[in-house]
A and B are shown apart, each in its own frame.
Chain A
Amino acid sequence: EILLTQSPATVSLSPGERATLSCRASESVTSYLAWYQQKPGQAPRLLIYDGSKRATGIPARFSGSGAGTDFTLTISSLEPEDFAVYYCHQRSNWPGFGPGTRVDVK
């Protein structure tokens, strides 16, 4: 079973700052990894698929990188609507989500 860990668990940043979120897999998931954003009371929204490809309608300030076991989601300049919880998910073997990273307003 592949386990995903996300770090940090919580990060406090100000609008305009850069956010760097990490997702690490216990073994290779090749590029079968996606990132989701979830706001309170809403269903998750797909941001990044196949490790690094932006989903339809996602702003260019969101970018994903990595392959194998180490992945990063970067938000280049935080907008007020970006404060949310972010999850990574792998579909390689025994699919699952990471525990999430909360991005809070500083």
Chain B
Amino acid sequence: NAGVTQTPKFQVLKTGQSMTLQCAQDMNHEYMSWYRQDPGMGLRLIHYSVGAGITDQGEVPNGYNVSRSTTEDFPLRLLSAAPSQTSVYFCASSLGVGLRAFFGQGTRLTVV
């Protein structure tokens, strides 16, 4: 039982490049979410999903896309990376909204 697996752990991108952050969970959780963590701020919600085929925007969705084709996977796509997207990204899952969350290890992304 691996929990929430998030890859990569580190990534450097050039401005304008695109990439996908992968997130997979093996706990059969319906609810999955992506957050970004910036210095001096609490984690902020980017996008979330309450089940396969259903996604919605969070607090800071601009510049990011998500899809949920299976219960297990919830990838986050950066369409055209900008320096403002330099951050640490966390994927999380839970049985339901507001319930105990399980987090991935985080991805430290630098956009130059």
A and B are interacting partners: no
Could you tell me which A residues sit within 8 Å of B by CB distance? none
